[in-house]
Amino acid sequence: MPFEFQRLSIPEVILVKPKVFKDERGFFAETYKHSEFEAAGIKEFFVQDNHSKSSKGVLRGLHYQVEPFAQAKLVGCIRGCIYDVAVDVRNGSKTFGKWVGTVLSEENMALLYIPSGFAHGFVVTSETAEIVYKCSKEYSPAHEHGVIWNDKNIGIKWPVADPILSKKDAAYLNLDF
């Protein structure tokens, strides 16, 4: 199997570690294979790929979309290092308002699967970072929502105290508990 799938403390969020084949020429790794992901319980078909680059201290998020455009995401960092976070925003869920976070980097080549119903955000901890991610639904501005990055009720332990935010991300409100 070319992947190791590790369920995190919120079991719907899955850390994916690809098998990496390295030699003197460089490396090769599969980063997505629908049959393997489906066998691990990740059944989405991804329909949109995104690529972003950010500087150290930039925090993007916490973003999510609502139905009928709620998105599952498969996130990876191909250059640099980020701290990646998923927050359960599913009303009625036993883990509503809980979060999980993990380091994604070009060194560990790990991916984070975030199902729909979760807000997603990350902060760059290296000088710069490039993030690529797959989405199960296309971006729809009319269905986009967010949660403020430092919501005290959620209590995310970000590795930065004073991140660089977009105006939109800085204007988000707390999650309604």
Band of residue 2 on the pLDDT scale cut at 50, 70, 90: confident
Question: How confident is the prediction for the chain on average, in pLDDT?
Answer: 97
Residue 176 in domain: no
- The closest of 143, 110, 142 to 32, measured between CA atoms, is 110
Asked whether the predicted pLDDT for residue 111 surpasses 90, the reply is yes
Residue 85 in domain: yes
Instruction: Express each pLDDT in 45-101 by its tens digit.
Output: 999 999 999 999 999 999 999 999 999 999 999 999 999 999 999 999 999 999 999
pTM: 0.96
Residue 65 in domain: yes
| Residues with Cβ within 8 Å of residue 54, at least 6 apart in sequence | 60, 124, 128, 129, 131
Q: What is the CATH number of the domain that holds 39?
A: 2.60.120.10
The count of structural domains within the chain is 1
Asked whether the predicted pLDDT for residue 127 surpasses 90, the reply is yes
> What is the domain extent for residue 70?
3-171
| Residues with Cβ within 8 Å of residue 122, at least 6 apart in sequence | 59, 60, 61, 75, 82, 83, 84, 85, 104, 131
User: Can you tell me the mean pLDDT for 14-21?
Assistant: 96
Residue 99 in domain: yes
Asked whether the predicted pLDDT for residue 116 surpasses 90, the reply is yes
Catalytic residue numbers, as ranges = 63, 133
pLDDT of residue 1: 64
| Helical spans, DSSP H, in 52-175 | 167-171
Instruction: Express each pLDDT in 134-164 by its tens digit.
Output: 999 999 999 999 999 999 999 999 999 999 9
User: Can you tell me the mean pLDDT for 101-107?
Assistant: 98
Block residue for tokens 């919501």 = 151
Residue 27 in domain: yes
Residue 177 in domain: no
